[in-house]
Amino acid sequence: MNVYLTWSILVLTLPTESATARMRFWRALKAKGCAVLRDGIYLLPYTAEREGMLRELATAIAESGGTAHLLRAPSLDASQEAEFRTLFDRADEYDGLIHALADARKTVSDQSAADLTKLLRRLRKDYETIVAIDYFPGEAATRAGVAWQDFVAHVDTVLSPGEPHAADRAIRSLAITDYQDRTWATRRRPWVDRVASAWLIGRFIDRNARFIWLTSPDACPADALGFDFDGAAFTHVGERVTFEVLLTSFGLDQDPALLRLGAMVHALDVGGAPVPEATGFEAIMAGARERTADDDQLLDEMSRVLDSIYTHFAANAKNSDTGSRS
């Protein structure tokens, strides 16, 4: 027996007296990725969450003077299901994004870190908006995903030249006492992972750490502990960025606030689940890099920011723990 998809169907008449309300509802339907069967009839592949969104929209339409009826029905047969699926084809939107990425790529090398960060954030939002309503991803989604990752990697080479490749090795457990009063070295003009790793080293691992900023990884002194470059003592391993590797290496991954910081650094450095505070930190980081050419000053300034974010995460973790016990 064939099992076909179930669809949520919204049949509506928009309010006639308010052009503003009609435009607001039309934009909401478009933002949810609804397909148009015909004028006034909209379609989404059923999930409880999507149907809940449509139910809220139907209520708002009715309260504004329109009418809205929400139905649920399966495809009648394979032919109808295929026809409905084509209504959700996002190939044109993906192609538009790919062209936008190609045009943006031509301007990357001429932009400041702050402007480049804004550009990356805007294009990321455009990409994620399409992905969120691509209910039947196919070849176009794959092509766009490749183009997006390529663009992000290109931006990284400008914001953070010499970004390390992930090493394939085990992460050893190390004793903090064996890493005191050391010289630590990383690439100059630190970006998110390097500045956060340097903060972590100075704050939790080696409080008397001395940092040197390398023009090239090849210039790393033999007695210095390198981090966040290929061949360094501490660098990307598997899916973990350098900050996360340091957490694991020194047993700091039991601190929920540091884990939350690690998730933020990971998202900004290589992508991943969004962390609300990430956008603000990234903007501050870009602005700080524009204002100072001295990497020691940059680390000092961003360390205060990271201290504040860590305190915020620690307080949230404590409140969550207290709430779970009450």
**Is residue 165 included in any domain, yes or no?**
no
Predicted pLDDT of residue 161: 67
What per-residue string of b and e applies to 288-304 under the rule 16 or more CB within 10 Å gives b? bbeeeeebeebbebbbe
Predicted pLDDT of residue 16: 81
Give the residue from 86, 120, 142 where a domain finishes: 86
- Residue by residue, pLDDT tens for the chain (326 residues) are 567 899 999 999 988 878 888 899 999 999 999 999 999 999 999 999 999 999 999 999 999 989 999 999 999 999 999 999 999 999 999 999 999 999 999 898 888 888 888 899 899 999 999 999 999 999 999 999 888 988 887 887 777 766 777 888 889 999 999 999 999 999 999 999 999 999 999 999 999 999 999 988 889 999 999 999 988 999 999 999 999 999 999 999 999 999 999 999 998 888 878 788 988 998 899 889 888 889 999 999 999 999 999 999 999 888 776 666 65
Domain span including residue 19: 6-86
**Is residue 50 included in any domain, yes or no?**
yes
Same domain, 306 and 192: yes
**Is residue 195 included in any domain, yes or no?**
yes
Q: Of the candidates 175, 273, 295, 197, which has an alpha carbon nearest to the alpha carbon of residue 242? A: 197
Predicted pLDDT of residue 122: 93
Same domain, 188 and 311: yes
Give the HSE-up count for residue 193: Cα atoms under 13 Å, Cβ half-sphere. Answer: 30
CA distance 263 to 281: 13
**Is residue 55 included in any domain, yes or no?**
yes
CATH number of 25's domain: 3.30.70.240
Predicted pLDDT of residue 264: 95
Same domain, 29 and 45: yes
Helix (H, G, I), strand (E, B) or coil at 73: strand
CA distance 298 to 305: 11
Same domain, 189 and 290: yes
The answer to whether 292 touches 298, Cβ cutoff 8 Å, is yes
Same domain, 137 and 224: no
Same domain, 109 and 61: no
Same domain, 232 and 114: no
**Is residue 171 included in any domain, yes or no?**
no
CA distance 185 to 41: 62
**Is residue 269 included in any domain, yes or no?**
yes
**Is residue 164 included in any domain, yes or no?**
no
Predicted pLDDT of residue 114: 82
Predicted pLDDT of residue 307: 97
Give the residue from 58, 86, 114 where a domain finishes: 86
Same domain, 151 and 199: no
Predicted pLDDT of residue 140: 93
Predicted pLDDT of residue 315: 93
Predicted pLDDT of residue 1: 57
Same domain, 192 and 314: yes
Same domain, 43 and 149: no
**Is residue 170 included in any domain, yes or no?**
no
Give the residue from 159, 185, 204 where a domain finishes: 159
Same domain, 318 and 194: yes
Q: How many domains does the chain have?
A: 3
Same domain, 194 and 129: no
